[in-house]
Structure 1
Amino acid sequence: MTIIRQTSLFSIQELYDMEPTQKYEAIISALDLDAIYREVTKKSRLGAPEELNYAAMIISTFVRYIERIPTIKDLIKRLHDDIAFKLNCGFLVSDDIPSEASYSRLVTKLKECNIFEKEQEKVVLQAIAEGFIMDDTVAIDATHFEARDQAPSKVEKPKPEPKKRGRKSKEERDGWLKEQAEKEANLPLYEKKIEAQLDVSLAELRAEVPQDPKWGVKKNSEGKNVFWFGYKGHLAVGTSSQYILQSLFSSGSLNDGKAAIPLLKGIHEQLPLPSLRYQTMDAGYDYDPIYEQVHQMGQQSVIAYNKRNEGEPIGFDKYFAPTCFREHSYRYDSFDAKYETLKYTRPKECNDCPLANEGICQKVYKVKITQDLRRYTAPARGSKAWKTTFKRRTAVERVNAYLKEFFQLNNVRYRTGERAKIHFDMVTLIYNASKLAADRINAQLNQQAA
């Protein structure tokens, strides 16, 4: 008999309504505090002794996000004024409250060891081991948040020199092409075209991400450009479990599509998820290299199509389904995974068509998706199965809203990109830990009910 895990009854919001002691214990227990503590404490007995309670400082830093305390200054004031809060954070009655400078040095140590990315992977692997992540679809999207500093004024780009009229000679054109190729080869990784990422390792992709605050632009619901100065958080979220499977922090100017391949490679190389079948994204990720990366992973792309001034092909409709002689669209029937072939059947309108029996329109039409991974997806574009899968993409938008509303993602208190990344990593880590804590409580409630 198949065991079906019940849907979540106990949510993160209900977790945050619990008593502080129980809430902190549930969330912090999902993290490996010993590993974080080892990274920030002294590695040698030599030198001045450390009088600070680093374990309690780490816990209080996490609690600051759980309790939505906006600044370190407010956290220190709360520790001074509330003895119960101080004890819940792990401090002893006799411990001195650390200063703002002490917390700043703690952030510096965390930045140098890059421990939060490792802890994020541990939490996700633990959730997989406990059976809370069994998704077949991943949704990828980006969200923006502003920097701490005031945005600098925009620098107008100098106008390019007018181009010379007339055709170039063969020698001039060859020289120009060679010059352009050299410029492309010398560009930083994330300023090159997206296809340059396919042959680059995951470690290099993560190391080369630009992190300084930059001007970013995005169209709002009215189609108007909205500008901001700051950063972007790129997330890959399980659509059913709503765990953050992979995350990436970048400058606000980075194109969304250039963060997709690092996220996809991270899922493929770091997470044992054989149930995954689909990667769904909006039209901002409609690039050939992204389809190729998903295909190399043995999965299917469900990505909104961006026409980019492309005309509709002759003999096909807007979803690239073949059309009959009278321009009726063939119906998507099935996908043959072995041969990677889409099968279309004759349109309903052809049942009474006099041309049907004359051999002009064929009954079945098959096409391999490898012919054009961008146009031919499985399930086929425009089909009911494709639309149903694409609707699951809203899960990543929901998680983005949670991070901003409950976990202070848009409350960056640091001035540099490297320290702002610590803020982003801690926010995503606390979210996953809260999700794991809520799922564990749900499992206990279900077990008691059974």
Structure 2
Amino acid sequence: MNIRQGYVFSFEDAINLQPRSRLEIVLATLDFDDVITVLDKENKQHRGPTGYPFESKLNALIAMRVYNMATFTELVERLTHDPVLRYNCGFDVFGKVPSIATFSRFYERLTQSEVLRELFKKQVTTAESMGLIDTSSIAIDASKVDANEKSVPRKNIKDDGQSANWGSKLDTNGNQITWFGYKLHIATDVKSELPVALSITPASTNDGIMAESILEECSNNLNSKPQYYLMDAGYDQKSIYELIRKDYKAQAIIPLNHRGAKEPPEGLDWDATPICSAGYRMAYWGGSNGVNKFRCPHVMGKCDCPFGSSWCSDSNYGMVVKTRARQDSRLFIVPHRGTSNWKLLYNKRTSVERCFGRLKEHLGLETGLNVRGIKKVKTHAYLSVITMIASVIAINKDKSSTDIAA
């Protein structure tokens, strides 16, 4: 007769002896209490159809993003065959796991409640309080998100602001790309390259139109106020410059989009540098408080004017021209467009592109998009960005703990 030997350790003891997985580290930084409270208020019955706690199902959805799973089917299969994952998510190690339909219904509930938006804001606040986010400069851009549904001819598109449609834009290499689906608008901190605000729109929505709502969300999510907002030429609209200067007391750093103009504005070069009466570009001499100063290029040694400096001014200092943002907030910005300081700031805008790359490659922003409808796509985006921020917070908390122990 064979006698089965008893276990020295319980399953929980065995798990605790193992190094913590990435999922455990990420989940340890997330507090779902507020989310669960809202879901409880919306439905007095706080358990799903098969009796699974909200927190466990939330953990499982985060696990989908951590492990870059594409579908609920893949998630259920992984939970079924991986007792460690079931344990980490909070499900019974030796019991059943939620069905695909259960996860689908729970996802719908999350979408309708919009509780993930507040969880995202809470993560941004935590990252800022830890010093992970330097809000002095914020980069804003949009990226394509392909729809998980059959494309529709342009003539049959529902232009209701909710349905997927056709979008077109230039990629980083200047190639024109077209897609059917949505557009993800994001604002990121240029230091940590973490998202601080986001929105989802149909693919055809103009980037500039969404600038106002993204700026407002940045202001609501951040405690400190950015000095600069960095955007590409697609956002080159005077209303955006005015909004940022007057309402947010900041400066927009955006290249000029000449929109096919054949001549620069009268008295200015293409980058809004004043032209002297002899036809030379004037020399930039610094700026502050919305005012840029330019001096005679002959006096500054930038050109050899046949008329000399006396052509424009009797002073040995040479002629001085000042441009002010209140005259034209689009043309006259500080630092002056094209200067080394302006270029240094604008080059940081690529941080938002790297953020998009990580969301798509590592957190399933596109490959894991197995839902339909703009609201569910937004829920999917929130799960991706929440997981990204939680990962960075977790890593830095571990570093702090190690430093203290050392």
TM-score tier by shorter-chain length is 0.7 to 0.9
Distance 1:20 1:51, change over 3 A: farther
Q: CA deviation at 1:342?
A: 1.0
**Deviation of residue 350 (structure 1)?**
6.1
Q: CA deviation at 1:154?
A: 3.3
Give 1:221 deviation, angstroms.
Answer: 5.5
1:234 partnered with 2:185: yes
Gaps of at least 5 residues in structure 1 are 1-18, 158-190, 192-208
Pairing 1:333–2:285 present: yes
Report whether the alignment pairs 1:430 with 2:387. yes
- Map 1:208-219 → 2, pairs under 5 A: 210-219=161-170
Contact 2:189 2:195 in 1 (8 A): yes
Map of 2:176 onto structure 1: 225
How far off is 1:36 after superposition? 2.0
Question: What does residue range 28-47 of structure 1 map to in structure 2 within 5 Å?
Answer: 28-41=27-40, 43-44=43-44
Matches within 5 A, 1:226-375: 226-274=177-225, 276-296=226-246, 297-310=248-261, 311-337=263-289, 340-347=290-297, 348-349=300-301, 353=305, 355-361=307-313, 362-375=318-331
Per the alignment, do residues 63 and 327 of structure 1 end up closer, same or farther by CA in structure 2, a change over 3 Å counting? same
Amino acid at match of 1:246: A
Distance in 1 (alpha carbons) for counterparts of 2:397 and 2:163: 38
Instruction: Quote the offset at 1:48 in angstroms.
Output: 9.9
**RMSD of aligned alpha carbons:** 2.5
TM-fit CA distance, 1:295:
0.4
CA–CA distance in structure 1, aligned partners of residues 403 and 228 of structure 2: 29
**Aligned partners of 1:331 and 1:345 also within 8 Å:** yes
CA distance in 1, matches of 2:151, 2:329: 41
- CA, structure 1 residues 391+446, in 2 after alignment: closer, same or farther (shift >3 Å)? farther
Q: Which amino acid aligns with 2:183?
A: K
CA distance in 2 between partners of 1:238 and 1:116 (Å): 20
Q: How big is each residue's C-alpha offset from its partner over 1:390-436, in whole Å with a ceiling of 9 and x where there is no partner?
A: 00000000000000000000131112222222111111111121122
Q: Which amino acid aligns with 1:75?
A: L
Q: Which runs of 5+ in 2 are unaligned?
A: 1-17
1:213-236, Cα deviation, whole Å (9 max, x unpaired): 111111345655321111111000
8 Å contact 2:46–2:53 — kept in the other structure?
Answer: no
1:61 Cα deviation (Å)?
1.1
Shift of 1:245: 0.9
Q: How much identity, in percent, do the aligned residues show?
A: 28
Question: What CA deviation, in whole Å up to 9, does each residue of 1:57-113 have, x standing for no partner?
Answer: 110111011011111111111111111221122112254211111111101110111
Cα distance in 1 for residues equivalent to 2:173 and 2:164: 26
One-letter amino acid of the counterpart of residue 372, structure 2 = R
**Alignment correspondent of 2:336:** 380
Question: In structure 1, what residue type is equivalent to 2:328?
Answer: D
Q: Distance in 1 between matches of 2:361 and 2:47?
A: 43
Report the CA distance shift for 1:345/1:51 in structure 2 as closer, same or farther (over 3 A): same
User: Aligned equivalents of 1:401 and 1:47: distance in 2?
Assistant: 36
Q: 2: CA distance between counterparts of 1:216 and 1:58?
A: 32
Q: Which moves more between the two structures, 352-361 or 368-377?
A: 352-361
Cα distance, 1:97–1:141 mapped onto 2, change above 3 Å: same
Partner residue, 2:346: 390
Aligned to 2:376: 419
Q: Is 1:151 aligned to residue 119 of structure 2?
A: no
Q: Deviation at 1:304? A: 1.1
Deviation, 1:440, is 2.4
Report the TM-score when normalising by structure 1.
0.78
Q: Name the structure, 1 or 2, with higher relative contact order (CA <8 Å, separation 6+).
A: 1
**CA contact 1:334–1:343 (8 Å) conserved in 2:** yes
Provide the C-alpha distance between the structure 1 equivalents of 2:123 and 2:227, rounded to a whole number of angstroms.
22
Q: Is the 8 A contact 1:261 1:290 kept in 2?
A: yes
Where 1:85 maps in the other structure, the secondary structure is helix
The residue identity in structure 2 corresponding to 1:32 is D
- 8 Å CA contact 1:134–1:273 kept in 2: the answer is no
Tell me the equivalent position of 2:11.
Answer: none
Looking at structure 2, the residues matched to 273 and 222 of structure 1 have their Cα atoms a distance apart, in angstroms, of 34
Distance 2:215 2:241 in 1: 11
